[in-house]
């Protein structure tokens, strides 16, 4: 798939359509993009298996690595990637058009080589609302100076071990601290770290490369810096959010879908709540099968769930439990402790299900079993965008989802997979 310009993609869908067939879950976006940053820490080749080659965020990060003279190659057919950063060199680029949030991951590999790093502002934003203070704190605690320029952030210095105390548990801060600490001189202690499955995948990669990392309990990490990291091969963990997306899609559409490559060990609680709603799916060691027979005779049951941190239902899964609740018979409650302001997409989703959703920060009340209608909507975020696409597929009539590139940021080969399930969509990138 070609790299798609931001804000240039819409999708037209005529529903209802019922998915039939099988779909394979790709490698996790939130693991793959972090592991790419890990590949920048060595001059030897890194080979990644189960890699989501078509993700927009992956393509933007690959573009950045190539701009610094690194080598990146993807094989879509085998879902593999190869990175060779032996020639990577920090430099100020002519353009910083990299619309990704996790630009902080791109610093460590540059600092390793010349003690300088030039990174785009997160999401391409400039000096407005700063949401990267914790990353600045990480670099400063490890001996670097940080200067916010007009077009980029410049980090300078030799990384040295130190103590990092996060005021709140942070996924991004933990990732950045790990990437910098493994190549810093001396020992680094990371307090109030947030160790997700995707971060465990990153730690697995760094350890295979020769890093010395010790995770104590659930929130304390010690790292002893090393002089050299070697090349290796590793698999990216399957995407638990994508897996849940396809399972719930099959349920709300009354489809007949086999979802393969399910990371069951990372999804015990989310899957338990699906069963409690009455969804009687069949599973083996690798896959979940959802069919019309999986649904209760009198419909899915309403439920109450709380979204927070792993191993529970994470906030990125919230929109899909809202979709499930809209198909249940009765009133459901979805609470989000982690990101209570994750509600922007609900105003758009309400167009498909009028008068069915009420919300306030942290709390969503859904009155289910409402007939959905076609609508024209605009995506507000990655997971919300995918929820809008699925709502359009099951709605009666022709729907339009604008800014659907947001969904492509998190779903590898999304259009191919929908087509493989028999779902017809019309993409327009000439807005």
Residues with a known catalytic role: 125
CA distance 306 to 171: 19
Phi first, then psi: give them for residue 416, nearest 5 degrees: -60, -40
SS3 call for 429: coil
CB atoms within 10 A of CB 77: 7
Name the burial class of residue 14, with classes exposed (0-12), middle (13-18) and buried (19+) by CB atoms within 10 angstroms of its CB: middle
CB atoms within 10 A of CB 401: 27
CA distance 148 to 102: 16
Q: Which of 286, 238, 282, 242 is nearest to 260 (CA)?
A: 286
Cα dihedral 251, 254, 259, 265, rounded to 10, equals: 20
CA distance 55 to 29: 8
CA distance 308 to 350: 23
Tokens of 230: 């070697």
Print the SS3 string covering 41-58. CCCCCEEEECCCCCCHHH
CA distance 9 to 282: 36
């Amino acid at each position: 798939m070609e790299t798609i310009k931001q804000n240039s993609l819409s999708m037209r869908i005529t529903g209802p359509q019922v998915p039939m067939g099988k779909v394979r879950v790709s490698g996790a976006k939130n693991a793959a993009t972090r592991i790419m940053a890990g590949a920048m820490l060595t001059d030897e080749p890194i080979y990644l298996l189960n890699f989501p080659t078509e993700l927009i965020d992956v393509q933007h990060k690959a573009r950045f690595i190539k701009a610094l003279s690194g080598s990146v190659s993807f094989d879509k057919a085998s879902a593999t990637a190869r990175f060779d950063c032996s020639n990577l060199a920090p430099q100020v680029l002519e353009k910083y058009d990299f619309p990704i949030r996790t630009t902080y991951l791109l610093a460590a590999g540059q600092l390793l080589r010349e003690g300088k790093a030039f990174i785009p502002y997160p999401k391409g934003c400039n000096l407005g609302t700063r949401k990267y203070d914790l990353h600045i704190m990480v670099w400063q605690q490890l001996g670097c100076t940080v200067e916010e320029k007009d077009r980029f952030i410049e980090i300078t210095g030799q990384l040295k071990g130190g103590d990092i105390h996060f005021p709140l548990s942070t996924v991004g801060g933990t990732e950045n601290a790990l990437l910098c600490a493994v190549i810093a001189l001396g020992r680094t202690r990371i307090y109030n770290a947030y160790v997700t499955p995707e971060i465990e995948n990153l730690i697995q990669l760094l350890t295979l490369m020769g890093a010395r990392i010790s995770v104590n309990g659930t929130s304390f990490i010690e790292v002893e810096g090393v002089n050299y990291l070697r090349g290796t091969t590793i698999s990216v963990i399957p995407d638990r959010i994508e897996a849940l997306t396809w399972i719930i899609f099959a349920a709300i559409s009354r489809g007949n879908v086999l979802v393969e490559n399910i990371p069951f060990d990372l999804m015990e609680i989310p899957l338990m709540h699906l069963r409690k709603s009455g969804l009687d799916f069949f599973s083996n060691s690798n896959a979940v099968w959802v069919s019309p027979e999986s649904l209760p005779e009198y419909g899915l049951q309403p439920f109450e769930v709380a979204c927070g941190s792993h191993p529970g239902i994470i906030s990125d899964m919230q929109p899909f439990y809202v979709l499930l609740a809209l198909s249940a018979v009765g009133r459901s409650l979805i609470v989000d402790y982690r990101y209570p302001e994750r509600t922007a997409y609900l105003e758009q989703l309400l167009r498909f299900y009028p008068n069915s959703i009420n919300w306030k920060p942290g709390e969503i009340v859904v009155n289910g079993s409402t007939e959905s209608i076609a609508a024209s909507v605009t995506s507000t975020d990655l997971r919300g965008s995918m929820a809008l696409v699925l709502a359009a597929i099951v709605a009666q009539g022709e729907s339009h989802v604008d800014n659907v590139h947001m969904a492509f940021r998190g779903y590898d080969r999304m259009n191919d997979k929908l087509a493989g399930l028999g779902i017809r969509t019309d993409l327009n990138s000439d807005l």
